[in-house]
């Protein structure tokens, strides 16, 4: 299978991941709480999302991909420090990379504008942040893949 089509499919997968986990498992305080509910399924699903980042040609996306694997591997319940530091670095590094993308900078701008959702006084503020940020990341990668496919006349 062509690498671009695989990346395209993984972008769709990441969008479905964002929507389906809360629809199937219910709304949690954060996506990390799904690790407790489904200790095998959550890491496997999350590592699947990281594969999409790993396939990105730009070397800077290897860091967020690696951080996402750490997030999936170390549950917030058993390893809160490792998990939380990795999650913070994942979102910050992803936003930073998007901000400096010449063609798709708008996704980085939208991402950074939504950071104040972390400070909303509710138990689900982290969940709200994640449910907004993950689709931004997914649509960013989706837009890049579609752009590359058009350049290569694949679509």
Q: How far is C-alpha 42 from the geometric centre of its chain's CA atoms?
A: 13
Interatomic CA distance for residues 44 and 99, integer angstroms? 29
Give the integer Cα–Cα distance in Å for 36 and 118: 22
Q: Is the pLDDT of residue 1 over 50?
A: no
122 and 128 in contact (C-beta within 8 Å)? yes
Taking only the tens place, the pLDDT of each residue in 20-51 is 999 999 999 999 999 888 888 888 888 888 87
pTM: 0.90
Q: What pLDDT, on a 0 to 100 scale, did the predictor assign at position 154?
A: 66
Q: Report the percentage of the chain scoring pLDDT > 70.
A: 97
pLDDT tens for residues 69-82? 999 999 999 999 99
pLDDT digits (tens, 9 = 90+) for 104-134: 999 999 999 999 999 998 888 999 999 999 9
Q: What is the pLDDT of residue 50?
A: 83
Count Cβ neighbours within 10 Å for each residue of 5-35 and write b for 16 or more, e otherwise.
eebbebbebbbebbeebeeeeeebebbbbbb
């Amino acid at each position: 299978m062509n690498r671009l089509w695989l990346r395209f499919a993984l972008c769709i997968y990441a969008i479905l991941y964002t929507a389906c986990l809360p629809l199937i498992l219910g709304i949690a305080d954060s996506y990390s709480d799904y690790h407790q509910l489904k200790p095998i399924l959550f890491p496997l699903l999350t590592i699947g999302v990281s594969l999409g980042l790993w396939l990105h040609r730009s070397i800077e996306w290897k860091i967020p991909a690696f951080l996402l694997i750490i997030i999936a591997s170390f549950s917030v319940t058993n390893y809160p420090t490792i998990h939380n530091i990795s999650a913070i670095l994942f979102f910050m590094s992803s936003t930073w990379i998007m901000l400096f993308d010449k063609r798709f900078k708008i996704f980085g701008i939208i991402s950074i504008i939504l950071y104040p959702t972390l400070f909303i006084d509710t138990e689900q503020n982290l969940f709200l942040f994640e449910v907004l940020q993950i689709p931004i990341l997914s649509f960013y990668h989706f837009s890049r893949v579609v752009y590359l496919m058009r350049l290569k006349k694949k679509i």
